[in-house]
């Protein structure tokens, strides 16, 4: 009898203990489930489908996370890479459990090569129904190089993303693109200074031509002139900021005292001129081997390249003749010459040449110092 009572007593304590454990677990789950805060930004982009990236992203957007969340994430369906939108705050367990179902509606936006940050943000604000001032402020506060921080191309953005989230996504995605570019084409990770120089040269190339096949040759002219300590004397470098799409005149060359004026100063501009394409970056890093120091527009909008001043003069006269015969200005023909300045007030355009001697060609080098 005593033995039976002892067994019953033991079982009783075990049951009580189990009930207490279950109660504590349920209480802990109840407390855990109540540990939730509203997101400051309800729409966010998840760059990778792993627990740490998810927790870091949520933290960044105002949803406080805890170490114990990692345990819960082992038992749920992890959300995939992409955009998500949270309509309302809910219990923590339910929040994580249902997160993978809360994909945000998206839209495609395109960043065009040659755009300035002002143009880029103005168009994006219009397309996405965002405030332009706030969008531009977000770009300027988060960007590094002022221009060219966002690589030209198509991006998928959540329709409900706010200004800061949109810029954050475009910049982080572009940073990842640049990293992949460095690893694939440069076989190394570029330093911040190397990257800045590369973006500057790519932006000059982008301003001078949108023809992919010409970009490596234009790049070779840039490097050949730099290596010979010649001024670049390219109109494209003066197409910066508010002058992004203006024709460069002799008066402008005389009065512009900034380091963007490569008619006055040697070296490259202090910062990139605009957004650039991957093709322009490739050309900037790997210029084609050539003896060219000049290039000039032709009547079909392409460029003809030369390694001596005499040949360059012939090419200039041919283009002047084309303009005169067709009673065109440079603006009307949608063409622009290079290493020259064209006055376009009348059909018989005056061309002022800046180079007087034919330099000896040299092999291009990779990167050059930024003008201080």
Boundaries of domain holding 334: 192-353
Give the pLDDT band (50/70/90) at residue 169. very high
Q: How far is CA 327 from CA 30, 89, 323, 344, 345, in A?
A: 81, 67, 6, 11, 12
Mean predicted lDDT score pLDDT of the chain: 79
Asked if the structure places residue 115 within a domain, the reply is yes
If asked whether residues 91 and 26 sit together in one domain, one would say yes
Give the pLDDT band (50/70/90) at residue 359. very low
Rank 33-47, 126-140, 342-356 by mean pLDDT and report only the highest: 126-140
Contact 42, 89 (CB under 8 A): no
Per-residue pLDDT, 245: 83
Task: With a cut of 90, say whether residue 201 has pLDDT above it.
Answer: yes
If asked whether residues 202 and 271 sit together in one domain, one would say yes
Contact 260, 357 (CB under 8 A): no
| Residue where a domain terminates, one of 101, 121, 136 | 101
Kindly state the tokens that stand for 153. Answer: 């191309």
Give the pLDDT band (50/70/90) at residue 335. very low
Per-residue pLDDT, 165: 92
If asked whether residues 54 and 122 sit together in one domain, one would say no
Contact 147, 275 (CB under 8 A): yes
Count Cα atoms within 13 angstroms, Cβ side, for 207.
29
Q: How far is CA 317 from CA 51, 165, 338, in A?
A: 65, 52, 13
If asked whether residues 46 and 162 sit together in one domain, one would say no
Q: What are the pLDDT digits (tens) for 287-331?
A: 999 898 988 888 777 887 888 887 888 777 877 777 777 665 554
Give pTM, 2 decimals.
0.76
Contact 104, 84 (CB under 8 A): yes
Asked if the structure places residue 372 within a domain, the reply is no
Q: What are the pLDDT digits (tens) for 65-108?
A: 777 778 878 888 889 999 998 876 666 777 778 888 888 899 99
If asked whether residues 220 and 303 sit together in one domain, one would say yes
| Residue where a domain terminates, one of 158, 186, 214 | 186
Asked if the structure places residue 56 within a domain, the reply is yes
Number of domains comprising the chain = 3
If asked whether residues 236 and 278 sit together in one domain, one would say yes
Return phi, psi of residue 118, to 5°: -65, -45
% of the chain beyond a pLDDT of 90: 39
**Helix locations, 61-187, DSSP H:** 69-73, 92-98, 117-128, 132-142, 163-181
Task: With a cut of 90, say whether residue 345 has pLDDT above it.
Answer: no
If asked whether residues 26 and 161 sit together in one domain, one would say no
If asked whether residues 97 and 72 sit together in one domain, one would say yes
Asked if the structure places residue 68 within a domain, the reply is yes
Per-residue pLDDT, 343: 29
More confident of the two residues 151 and 102: 151
Per-residue pLDDT, 327: 66
% of the chain beyond a pLDDT of 70: 75
Task: With a cut of 70, say whether residue 31 has pLDDT above it.
Answer: no
Task: With a cut of 50, say whether residue 164 has pLDDT above it.
Answer: yes
Contact 178, 172 (CB under 8 A): no
- Name residue, tokens 């802990």: 28
Per-residue pLDDT, 279: 94
Asked if the structure places residue 239 within a domain, the reply is yes
Q: Is 256 exposed, middle or buried (0-12, 13-18, 19+ CB in 10 A)?
A: middle
Asked if the structure places residue 363 within a domain, the reply is no
| Residue where a domain terminates, one of 63, 83, 101 | 101
If asked whether residues 218 and 148 sit together in one domain, one would say no
If asked whether residues 257 and 286 sit together in one domain, one would say yes
Task: Count the Cβ atoms, other than its own, within 10 Å of residue 145.
Answer: 15
If asked whether residues 249 and 294 sit together in one domain, one would say yes
If asked whether residues 229 and 269 sit together in one domain, one would say yes
Kindly state the tokens that stand for 61. Answer: 């957007």
Q: Which of 222, 184, 185 is nearest to 200 (CA)?
A: 222
- Name residue, tokens 């001129």: 273
Asked if the structure places residue 50 within a domain, the reply is yes
Kindly state the tokens that stand for 84. Answer: 């998500």
Buried b (16+ CB within 10 A) or exposed e, 257-284: eebbbbbebebbbbbbbbbbbbbbbbbb
Asked if the structure places residue 179 within a domain, the reply is yes
Q: What are the pLDDT digits (tens) for 209-250?
A: 888 999 999 999 999 999 999 999 998 899 988 888 888 888
Task: With a cut of 80, say whether residue 263 has pLDDT above it.
Answer: yes
Poorest-pLDDT segment among 50-59, 83-92, 176-185, 187-196: 83-92
């Amino acid at each position: 009898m005593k033995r039976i009572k002892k067994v019953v007593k033991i079982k009783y304590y075990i049951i009580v203990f189990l009930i207490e454990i279950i109660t504590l677990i349920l209480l802990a789950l109840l407390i855990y489930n109540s540990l939730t805060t509203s997101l400051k930004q309800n729409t966010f982009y998840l760059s990778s489908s792993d627990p740490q990236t998810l927790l870091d992203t949520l933290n960044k957007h105002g949803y406080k996370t805890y170490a114990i969340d990692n345990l819960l994430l082992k038992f749920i369906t992890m959300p995939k890479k992409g955009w998500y939108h949270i309509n309302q705050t809910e219990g923590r367990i339910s929040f994580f459990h249902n997160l993978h179902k809360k994909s945000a509606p998206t839209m495609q936006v395109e960043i065009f090569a040659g755009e300035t940050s002002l143009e880029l943000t103005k168009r994006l604000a219009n397309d996405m129904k965002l405030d332009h001032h706030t969008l531009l402020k977000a770009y300027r506060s988060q960007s590094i190089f002022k221009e060219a921080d966002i690589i030209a191309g198509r991006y998928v953005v959540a329709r409900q993303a706010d200004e800061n989230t949109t810029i954050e996504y475009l910049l982080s995605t572009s940073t990842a693109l640049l990293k992949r570019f460095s690893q694939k084409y440069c076989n190394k990770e570029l330093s911040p200074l190397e990257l800045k120089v590369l973006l500057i040269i790519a932006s000059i190339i982008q301003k001078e031509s949108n023809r992919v096949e010409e970009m490596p040759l234009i790049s070779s002219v840039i490097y050949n002139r730099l290596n010979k300590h010649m001024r670049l004397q390219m109109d494209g470098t003066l197409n910066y900021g508010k002058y992004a799409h203006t024709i460069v005149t002799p008066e402008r060359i005389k009065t512009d005292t900034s380091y963007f004026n490569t008619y006055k100063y040697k070296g490259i501009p202090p910062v990139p001129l605009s957004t650039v394409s991957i093709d322009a970056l490739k050309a900037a890093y790997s210029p084609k081997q050539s003896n060219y120091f000049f290039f000039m527009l032709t009547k079909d909008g392409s460029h003809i390249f030369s390694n001596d001043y005499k040949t360059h003069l012939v090419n200039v006269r041919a283009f002047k003749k084309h303009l005169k015969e067709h009673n065109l200005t440079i603006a009307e023909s949608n063409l622009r010459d290079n290493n020259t300045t064209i006055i376009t007030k009348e059909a018989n355009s005056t061309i002022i040449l800046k180079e007087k001697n034919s330099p000896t060609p040299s092999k291009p080098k990779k990167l050059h110092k930024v003008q201080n």
